[in-house]
Amino acid sequence: RWADWSSATDLSPDQVLVSDVSWVPGGQHVTFQLQNREQTWLDLCRFDVVAGTTEVLFRDQTPAWIESPSAPVWLQSGGFLWLSPRSGWRQIYRYDANGGLVGPVTEAGVEVQSILGLSPNQDQVFFTAYHPSPTELHVHRTTLSGGMVNRLTSLGSSHRVTFNRSFTYFIDQYSSVTTPHRIELRNSDGKRILEV
């Protein structure tokens, strides 16, 4: 079945970009992102594959330019996490299942690069951010309610990590001008378990 998105925008097809398409858990809905060619706004749309209907969940917008953050990160509650630069900082926001804003998860001043995933009981979110230094990429953890941001990697280096499926451990690869490439196994609190 083809998704008819003409009800989602009054722009013609040659004036719109489809910047991401992804399934919603459960398989009854597909989300897709529509943007104008200038990329100053982005609509997150949901298509019901059974009913054949399309709705706009919300519009994300900035005065200058907005990048597609890729697919939403889905929560067991049906809600989702979304990356947006609308405040001037790239922050994580939490939405309910119908696209209603619950609130920010991270505060302005923390430049989030990517959402890595959620703890097993989905009360914490892991993400990468250029914080506290704009030249160092670190792994952080915070609660979904927007609590304190905890850095899990050591200062002085940029880090690339890979979590296990349950987000209880991660492989930390890092280096700096003075530190050659290192690989460590850490737990979800950032404690080093093993230097590889």
Amino acid sitting at position 109 = G
Question: pLDDT, tens digit, for every residue of 38-52?
Answer: 999 999 999 999 999
DSSP per-residue codes, the chain? -----TTT-SS-GGGEEEEEEEEPTTSSEEEEEEEETT-SEEEEEEEETTTTEEEEEEEEE-SS------S-EE-TTS-EEEEE-TTSS-EEEEE-TTS-EEEESS-TT-EEEEEEEE-TTSSEEEEEEE-S-TT--EEEEEETT----EE-S-TTSEEEEEE-TTSSEEEEEEE-SSS--EEEEEETT--EEEE-
In this model, does residue 7 exceed pLDDT 80? no
Torsion angles phi and psi, residue 65, rounded to 5: -160, 140
Question: pLDDT, tens digit, for every residue of 67-109?
Answer: 898 899 999 999 999 999 999 999 999 999 999 999 999 998 8
More confident residue, 15 or 89: 89
Q: Give the single-character DSSP code of 13.
A: G
User: Taking the mean position of all CA atoms in its chain, how far away is CA 55?
Assistant: 21
Percentage of residues in the chain with pLDDT exceeding 90?
78
Q: What is the mean pLDDT of residues 157-173?
A: 96
Q: Report which of 162, 176, 169, 167 is spatially closest to residue 191, judged by C-alpha positions.
A: 169
109 phi-psi bin (left φ>0, alpha ψ -120 to 50, beta other): left
SS3 104: strand
